[in-house]
Structure formats: structure tokens, C-alpha cells
Amino acid sequence: MKMASDFHAGDAFELVREADRYRPIYYAAVSGDFNPIHIDREFGQAAGFPDAILQGMCTMAWLADACTAYLGDPARVKRLRVRFSRPVVVGDVVTFRGRCVSVEGPVVRLEVEARNQRGEEVLKGAAAEGWVES
């Protein structure tokens, strides 16, 4: 596993995930978030979207997966912060591009951009903090 000396400001990482038709339903099953806006196309449309929209927490889980892969251990992720700036609609593909902005002792700070297939930001201010052993 990577140690503190293996992390450097400027490191980059990337993750791509797709909100396929069943993703919000599977995510509802494992998270307990069965809000109809996520699993019912008609409800999504009534709320003003082209289809059902993915749970924001699933988008955040993808962000966490991107950070976990970089940090090397799910338990190293100590802080996560996001604003959901645009819904992820069924059919969207989201690309997460992360960057290490600083390493101070055991604290690794990360910033991540998340954009859909049209290049629109779906998260704003997405940031994470990892704690790594020296």
C-alpha cells in the first residue's frame, strides 16, 4: 500500500461511471433511498427532468471511489464535501478528474471535478481529505 511519501501535490487520478437505467434502482436497494424521483421516470419528468435522476449520494459514492482508489484504502478517506450543482440523469456518464492539492504530514487534500458527457459540471467544490500513514 502507498505510504505518505508516495503522495505528491499535483498527482492526478480519474474515474468514469455510468448512470445506466437500473443504477438508481440498485442504489436505492443498497442505500434505502427510494425517493420516487430516483426510480420513477414519470415522477422525474413531473419534477422537470427528462427522466429519473440518480441519487446525489450515488454520485458522491463515485467521487469517494475515485478518492479511495488514489489513497489505496477506503478507511483513509476522512472528509468528503460536495455541492450537487446539476442532476445526473439516467443515461449520463460522469467523469471524475481528481488532483492532489497538498500533502502536509499525514493529511492529503484532494479536489475533484465531475462532468457529464456534455462537459457540464455535476458537482461543485468537491473536495476530500485523506489521512495516510508515514
Partner 1 sequence: MPIDPRHVGRRYGPFRNTVCAEQIRAFAVAVSGGVPGYFGTAHGDPHPWSVDDEAARRSPHGALVAPPTFGVTFAMKPFALACSDPELGLDLIRLLHAEQEFEHGAPVRPGDELTTEGEIVEVRSRGPLDFLTVRTETVNGAGERVLVARWTAVIRG
Stretch that binds partner 1, among 6-14, 65-73, 90-98, 107-115 (CB under 8 A): 65-73
Helix (H, G, I), strand (E, B) or coil at 40: coil
Q: Which of 11, 33, 40, 65 is catalytic?
A: 33
- Count, residues near partner 1 per rule CB under 8 A: 43
Could you tell me which residues are beta bridge partners of residue 6? Answer: none
CA-to-CA separations, 61 to 1, 8, 40, 55, 126, in angstroms, rounded? 22, 24, 21, 10, 12
Please name the helix (run of DSSP H) or strand (run of DSSP E) that holds residue 30, with its range, or none.
helix 23-31
Site residues for partner 1, 86-115, by CB under 8 A, read 87
Which amino acid belongs to residue 71? L
Look up 33 and say whether it is catalytic: yes
* Set 11, 20, 40, 56: catalytic member: 56
Contact 132, 108 (CB under 8 A): yes
Of these, 6, 8, 21, 81, which contacts partner 1 (CB under 8 A)? 81
Residues that bind partner 1 in the complex, under the rule CB under 8 A = 1, 15, 17-18, 20, 22-23, 26-27, 29-33, 35, 37, 43, 46-47, 55-58, 60-62, 64-65, 67-69, 73-75, 77-84, 87
Q: Among all residues, which ones are annotated catalytic? A: 33, 38, 53, 56
